Amino acid sequence: MADETVVEAAARIPKVVVVVCLLRGYKVLLGRRRSSLGDSMFSLPGGHLEYGESFEECAIREVKEETGLDIDQLEFINVTNNLFSEEGKPYHYVVVSMRAVLADHQHAQNVEPDFCDGWGWYEWNNLPKPLFSPLEKAVQAGFNPFPV
């Protein structure tokens, strides 16, 4: 019984995720998720922050691991607090959003096909549906990753 309490308590600890709004012209890179959380929804590339890692280091690593792309001009955009309780198991993610551009002319690869069905470039004003809930909420709140 005591072990279950420790496991349950650990499950309630918020996790930090870094996502990247990778821009090309007026388009952003999105992938269709293959995950127990947000399966078949479109999402930005990104993932969990590792111990001792900066937001920038995490963004560079995650984009490379998921898409094979090198990024440049990396900058912080915002942070959001996201609770997922309707999924059966509660999740709490603090999502750090970064903005970047391609380091040079490259093409996205589906490096992790077990986690993503593929990557595509989408116009910000014509995003595919359904969007993963943190991105959907941000868009509905007026979030725009493009510099003004």
Q: Confirm whether 31 is domain-assigned.
A: yes
Q: Confirm whether 147 is domain-assigned.
A: no
Res 1 pLDDT > 50: no
Q: Confirm whether 67 is domain-assigned.
A: yes
Q: What is the mean pLDDT of residues 87-99?
A: 85
Sort residue 68 into left (φ over 0), alpha (ψ -120 to 50) or beta.
left
Q: Which of 139, 133, 132, 127 is nearest to 116 (CA)?
A: 132
Instruction: Check: CB of residue 79 under 8 Å from CB of residue 97.
Output: yes
User: Which structural domain range is residue 118 located in?
Assistant: 12-139
Q: What confidence tens digit (pLDDT) does each residue in 38-48 have?
A: 899 999 999 99
Res 85 pLDDT > 70: yes
Q: What is the pTM of this model?
A: 0.88
Residue 72: beta bridge partners? 101
Number of domains, the chain: 1
Q: Confirm whether 148 is domain-assigned.
A: no
| Predicted confidence band of residue 88 (pLDDT cuts 50, 70, 90) | low
For residue 54, the domain's CATH number is 3.90.79.10
Instruction: Check: CB of residue 49 under 8 Å from CB of residue 17.
Output: yes
Q: Confirm whether 144 is domain-assigned.
A: no
Between 90 and 139, where is the model more confident? 139
pLDDT for the residue numbered 91: 83
pLDDT for the residue numbered 13: 87
- Mean pLDDT estimate for the chain: 90
Q: Confirm whether 114 is domain-assigned.
A: yes
Q: Confirm whether 125 is domain-assigned.
A: yes
| Predicted confidence band of residue 83 (pLDDT cuts 50, 70, 90) | confident
What single-letter amino acid sits at 59? A
Q: Confirm whether 2 is domain-assigned.
A: no
